[in-house]
Amino acid sequence: MQEQLTPPRFEKPEHEYFRVMTASPEVAIADPAVNTEAILAHYQDAREQEAALLVLPELCVTGYSTADLFFNRHVLNRTNQALTQLAEATLDGPAMVVGAPTIQDGLLYNSAVMLAQGGIAGVVPKSYLPNYNEFYEKRWFTSGRTVQGATIRIGEQDVPFGTDLLFDINGTKVGVEVCEDGFAPIPPSAHHALAGADVIVNLSASNELVGKDSFRRRLITGHAANFICAYVYTSAGRGESNADVVYGGHQMVAELGKMLAEVQPFADETTAVDIDTSYIEHDRLVNKTFADQAQEARAMRSYRTVPLKVPATQDGTLMRTVNNEAFRPQNQAELDRRCETLFNLMAYPLAQRLADSKAQGIVLGLSGGLDSTLALLTAEYARQIMLQPASFIHTITMPGAASSERTQSNATKLAEALGTTHHVMPIGELAEDAMTMIGHDTTTEDITYENTQARMRTLLLMNYANMVQGIVEGTGDMSEIAQGWCTFNADHMSMFNPNASVPKTLVRDLVNWFARNRCTPQVAEILSDIIDTPVSPELTGTGDLSQETESLIGPYKLHDFFLTEEIRRGSTPQKIGFLASLAFGEEFTVQEIQEWLDAYHGRFTANQWKRETVPNGPKIGTVSLSPRGDWRMAPNTSPTWYK
């Protein structure tokens, strides 16, 4: 069961979440009456959880192992009675989908039956019947893959029957397939998704084998990614025959390629989770390949949609995990793999640019801070790829009045430890001369005072690069670029910037990974102190690190969270605040989150003009702000668009 989180004040967005519950009840083989009671017990749990839909396994009304008793009229009659009883239970509660044998025009089908609003909403027959190895379903059932536009009579009801059904539950479209359907090369769920299904449910009776649970995870998360949907899978478990095979009751809910919730085989549990349908809608709107195929599919095949209304979730909680580290995997092994991948994604393009431009060296400003350190480590990786000596890297430290002894010392020690061609070029007099020439008093620490220092540093870097026939490597990260926290035509500019798509919250991890895996103990010790140094532009003050960036523009952990939700997911400001209040509620008050969210939006909108002219840099993740790639935005976008 997912932890229920209650937001301090931000309200849960309406119509953006669809709560599903999965269960695998213990069955009594060929006894629908007993199974009905077990199903109703889980249905009561779903009602208490305020789920919109309860998903149960394949043939759970009779048991998958009913075998030749599927032909027995008594069992079939009791099945219809059970379906009617189960349907009546849904009058004022969630919808539920159960597996049962059904007869239509003298043929027996392995079906999924959608129950809602006190009745049977529709029946979807299984398309692909496994008849190999341990499976021999064709002994009993007929494939329903060609059944469209039909009806079936169950009890006193004539209801829609076929593989062309979608169920619109409170605005969320649900498509249904049964077990083997999901394992087919082109599963019915592919057609359902292209027809508009946001959520696919799979009622299964998949037996357990060594490694099969891992295969199912890859399959289900793959479907959720490929079809840009949520995929809900529930398999048969206890009570099924174990004469020759074993059933474990595996349950999974995946969304857009990621596992939201899972009940491991043999765990004998249930799970409830909120699917984010707005994420699904956003990704489909962005992906024009999906749109093209959807148009083609809809021109060739029509669907019937059954509208259903069930009680909406009222408790205001969110049943899903909200990660407060948007770009950072929680698992250390996965984080290490990601860091290694990211270094490759940064270093190889840098090496390629150096080779293409026939550059004789890499030139970068080394401040002793995290971003320039990461740029240096990337340069070190690139020069190793190119089989160049350490002197191929030219590091320049350019202290000003506000530069701290700690950062300058770390910069020099790191350069010496790596063997770079290192220079120290103080910018104090150069900056003062530039300010004096334009009539500045050189003591007022205003924006001109700050920007002049930044531009003098870039002037030195560019001129030095010309002299040694090198290229200037940029150091600014994506979080700074998003906020415009850079000086135009100063640290904003370079000849290539490998850091351009790196979020600030991942920079420390990258430096730490390099320290643990790619360098000597001496270098690792220096990197450790750099990691512990507060983030500061060091443009005002007297070198005591009093100008801390996060106290000026806000915590980067919040900004990176906002950035992911807005750019990657297309979330509304209200929703971003709601999710942030869950993720950071113990660290920041609602008022603080709202203030920093407003500040983020203000700076992000106002600084698009800077992003219009950023230098080249590789896209390394799903969020990128390159004006030539992922992010197109008018520089004069209304400053109140997010209000």
CA distance 451 to 445: 10
CA distance 565 to 623: 10
181 close to 126: Cβ distance less than 8 angstroms: yes
Q: Which of 16, 173, 177, 179 is catalytic?
A: 179
CA distance 494 to 492: 7
CA distance 167 to 175: 7
The CA angle 602-327-537, to the nearest 5 degrees, is 55
Query: Which tokens go with 523?
Result: 């270098």
Which segments of 495-618 does DSSP mark as H helices, in order? 504-517, 521-531, 549-553, 556-563, 573-583, 590-606, 608-611
623 close to 567: Cβ distance less than 8 angstroms: yes
28 close to 63: Cβ distance less than 8 angstroms: yes
Q: How many CA atoms within 13 Å lie on the side-chain side of 45?
A: 20
Angle between helices 521-531 and 370-385 (to 10 degrees): 150
3-class DSSP state of 37: helix
Which segments of 95-159 does DSSP mark as H helices, in order? none
Q: Which of 12, 16, 50, 58 is catalytic?
A: 58
User: Where do the DSSP E strands lie in 49-139?
Assistant: 53-55, 95-104, 107-116, 119-125
Distance of CA 379 to the CA centre of its chain: 30
179 is catalytic: yes
Max CA-CA distance within the chain? 100
Tell me which residue of 154, 178, 179 sits closest to 165, measured CA to CA.
178
Q: Which of 16, 50, 60, 126 is catalytic?
A: 126
Query: Which tokens go with 191?
Result: 């057609």
21 close to 269: Cβ distance less than 8 angstroms: no
CA distance 294 to 300: 10
58 is catalytic: yes
* Backbone angles phi and psi of 159, in degrees to 5: -130, 160
Burial 566-576 (b: 16+ CB within 10 A, else e): bbbbebebebb
Q: In what order do the strands lie in the sheet containing 150-154?
A: 150-154, 157-161, 119-125, 107-116, 95-104, 53-55, 17-22, 271-276
Active site positions, annotated: 58, 126, 179
